[in-house]
A and B are shown apart, each in its own frame.
Chain A
Amino acid sequence: MRSETRAALLFLAPALTLIAVFFFLPVIAGFALSVTDFDIYSLGNYHNIRFIALQNYGQLLHNATFWTALLNTLYFSVVGGPLTVAVSLAAALLVNARLARYKPIFRTVYFAPVVTTLVAVAVVWRYLYHPRFGMINLALARLGIHGPDWLGDPKYAMPAIILLAVWKNFGYNMIIFIAGLQAVPEELYEAARIDGAGAWKQFRHVTLPMLGPTFLFVGIVTAIGYLQLFAEPYVMTRGGPLDRTLSAVMLMYEQGFRWWRMGYAAAIALMLFFVIAAATAIQMRFQEKR
């Protein structure tokens, strides 16, 4: 028993030390940093750091840019998240359909965007969205629609980024939905059919309820990921036009690593943390109620 404890200590030491020093310590320090006025002068000399209690948070709440960034992030998550989940479910139902052939091929194709490098495909989509030569507007022109300047128009920039995110991410949730669909016992469908339920009723009263836990998992993972929006606007719009695609993480990055206002940036990171925790808690409550 003793030697087992010693062995356990030996096996755990590297990983736990690394996680403690390079994850938990910085997270705790992040809380501490957010109540200081750490800025570029502190970077040169740590003696310049002053404790300022919750002033950073107070400043944030009175800052229009912060609210813009937060609302943009929520817009992206609240519209993009459910849209991604819906497309994922549709894809899973199609790929998993009894009549479908070549399932593994379609599954692989739909999953491919997930493994691609976000920065690189964001660059690709930047050109697909080009107002004159972009393939999206050229396709729309074929249908007689005059496409907008997607990334240059304040109204369309965020929807354009959402579309890219749906394309990039739906395959991930699709795989999880397929796993969920395959776990639904066939007898339930048989019983429903005997009761005279058509395809839609079977979907509504058997498939959807049985997928409850899957929805919860997919919803939480998607929300956590989407609230951390960063690379897409960084590469495609730099937060523009008119700050319409500026996200919370982008604001944190700019304040912290471009202007070195690290105390202020830490407060932004923590606000984001609270939003993520709230989004997770809300979804769990919602699931419990049903």
Chain B
Amino acid sequence: MNGESPRVGPAFQPVPSEDRLESLSHTRVHGRAILLHVALVSGAVLTLFPLLWMISASFMASGEATTYPPHLVPHAASFDEYRQLFTRLNIGRAFFSSTVVAVGVTVLSLLFNSMAGYAFAKLRFRGRERIFGILLSALVIPAQVGMLPLFLLLKEMHLVNTYWGVIIPGLASVFGIFLIRQFMLSIPQELLEAARIDGAGELRIYWSIVMPLARPILATLAIFTFMSTWNDFMWPLIVLTDQSHYTLPVTIASLVGEHAQDVELMMAGSVVTVLPVLALFLFLQRYYIAGLMMGSVKG
């Protein structure tokens, strides 16, 4: 405290002690703020570095990422690797597969989950709480326990190596039903009763009254589902036995086996895989993060 005296002009010499203390604590706060932001920025640089390097290396000429001296930015932007991916390696097909699967799961699961969530939240029937409890118990069972029999079941149904084989296990989810139910509990019962008195059927109430009100949670769940389906690896790897239906993650994993030396090519493939979900997140993060907090607070 008494080490440094504030440098002030002679005119201000008789500084009141309180002001002096305050200006000292100001510099201390200032120093702490600088330290804090140094930490925040270094954390951000470390976090972003792998992604930035991925993008940068994907535009390098073949072999450029493994030359000495190393550099971070390509000498000249090259689209060769992307061209190769889309022509010779036909990654467009994997992009298509991933889109079909992710959109299919998202649209259909939103429909089925919201129907069930509505029933659990707003309709009275015997055994409601017990059935819901049994469903929730599924959350602690890891998917791997059912994977082997599920494969055999889908094989019997001739769905191995089809898009349906990837889509079907994702069509209804306990987590989705739970999230929607929690949200719909807050819809006032009087609103539904009034509609019933006006003669609206249950289907009509669900579709024209409840669904529009549930839009925020539906948006959250849609993004959630789309991203986790897009990024999913193990199940598509198991059920898709032939390259013709591979999703992007499965394609990347198989490419890295054959083209491990082509750093730039692999980075271009990673960019093609990651960029759609990253862009989606950046545009819709408001919903995504809100949903995350909701799930955690009530989960």
Residues of A within 8 A of B57 (CB): 127
Enumerate chain B residues within 8 angstroms of A270, measured Cβ to Cβ.
145
Q: Are B47 and A109 in contact (CB under 8 A)?
A: yes
Q: Which residues of A contact B293 (CB under 8 A)?
A: 175-176, 179
Within 8 A of B (CB), among A24-47: 24-27, 29-30, 32-33
Contact A94 B153 (CB under 8 A): no
> Is there contact, CB below 8 Å, between A97 and B36?
yes
Q: Is the CB of A123 within 8 A of B150?
A: no
Flag whether A100 is at the interface (Cβ < 8 A): yes
Evaluate whether A26 and B147 lie within 8 angstroms (CB atoms) in the complex, with A111-B289, A112-B51 already known.
yes
In whole Å, how far is B120's beta carbon from the nearest beta carbon of chain A? 8
Chain B minimum-CB-distance residue to A106: B40
Whether the Cβ atoms of B150 and A26 lie closer than 8 Å is: yes
Give Cα A52–Cα B257 distance, bound, in whole angstroms: 37
In the complex the two chains form, what is the Cα distance from A272 to B296 in whole Å?
24
Stretch at the interface among A15-23, A58-66, A75-83, A189-197: A15-23
Q: What CA separation (Å) do A175 and B57 show in the bound complex?
A: 30
| CB pair B274 A120 closer than 8 Å | yes
Q: Which residue of A lies closest to B267 (CB)?
A: A124
Name which residue of chain A comes closest to B68, CB basis.
Answer: A133
Chain A minimum-CB-distance residue to B288: A115
Per the 8 Å Cβ criterion, residues 173-199 of A in contact with B are 175-176, 179
- Contact pick for B149, options A26, A113, A126, CB 8 Å: A26
Among A11, A26, A27, A106, the residue within 8 A (CB) of B118 is A11
User: What range describes how many residues of B lie at the interface?
Assistant: 35 or more
A19 proximity list for chain B (CB < 8 A): 135, 138, 172-174
Chain A: minimal CB distance from B27 (Å): 14
Asked if A118 is at the interface of the complex by the 8 Å CB criterion, the answer is yes
Docked Cα-Cα span, A9 to B203, in Å, equals 12
Min C-beta distance of B274 to chain A, whole Å:
5
A11 in contact with B206 (CB, 8 Å): yes
If A108-B282, A110-B43, A123-B270 touch, whether A235 touches B253 (CB-CB below 8 Å) is yes
Known: A117-B277, A135-B53, A176-B292. A26 touches B153 (CB 8 A): yes
CA distance A115 to B40 in the complex (A): 20
CB contacts under 8 Å to A, within B127-163, are 128, 131, 135, 138, 140-142, 144-153
Name the residue of chain B whose CB is nearest to the CB of A173.
B296
Q: Find chain B residues with CB under 8 A from A276 CB.
A: 140, 142
Residues of B within 8 A of A5 (CB): 123-126
Contact yes or no, A8 B270, CB < 8 A: no
User: Is A219's CB within 8 Å of the partner chain B?
Assistant: no
8 A-B pairs with the lowest CB-CB distances in the bound complex, closest first: A26-B146, A29-B149, A15-B116, A7-B202, A120-B270, A11-B119, A15-B172, A26-B149
A-B contacts, 30 of them at CB < 8 A, read A4-B202, A5-B125, A8-B123, A9-B125, A18-B168, A18-B172, A22-B168, A25-B146, A26-B149, A30-B147, A33-B149, A99-B32, A100-B37, A115-B278, A117-B249, A117-B274, A119-B252, A120-B54, A123-B252, A124-B50, A124-B53, A133-B263, A138-B70, A176-B293, A214-B296, A224-B140, A227-B142, A272-B145, A273-B144, A273-B145
B-to-A contact residues, CB < 8 Å: 29, 32-33, 36-37, 39-40, 43-44, 46-51, 53-54, 57, 65-68, 70, 111-113, 115-116, 118-120, 123-126, 128, 131, 135, 138, 140-142, 144-153, 168-169, 171-174, 177, 202, 206, 227, 230-231, 233-234, 238, 248-250, 252-253, 256, 263, 266-267, 269-270, 273-274, 277-278, 280-282, 285, 288-289, 292-293, 296-297, 299
Interfacial residues, chain A to chain B (CB-CB below 8 A): 1, 3-5, 7-12, 14-16, 18-19, 21-27, 29-30, 32-33, 91, 94-95, 97, 99-101, 106-113, 115-121, 123-128, 130, 132-133, 135, 138, 167, 171-172, 175-176, 179, 214, 217, 224, 227-228, 230-231, 234-235, 249, 252-253, 256-257, 262, 265-266, 269-270, 272-273, 276-277, 280
List 14 extra interface pairs beyond A19-B173, A118-B249, CB under 8 A: A5-B125, A12-B116, A14-B111, A15-B112, A26-B145, A27-B149, A29-B153, A91-B43, A101-B37, A118-B233, A167-B46, A171-B47, A214-B296, A269-B142
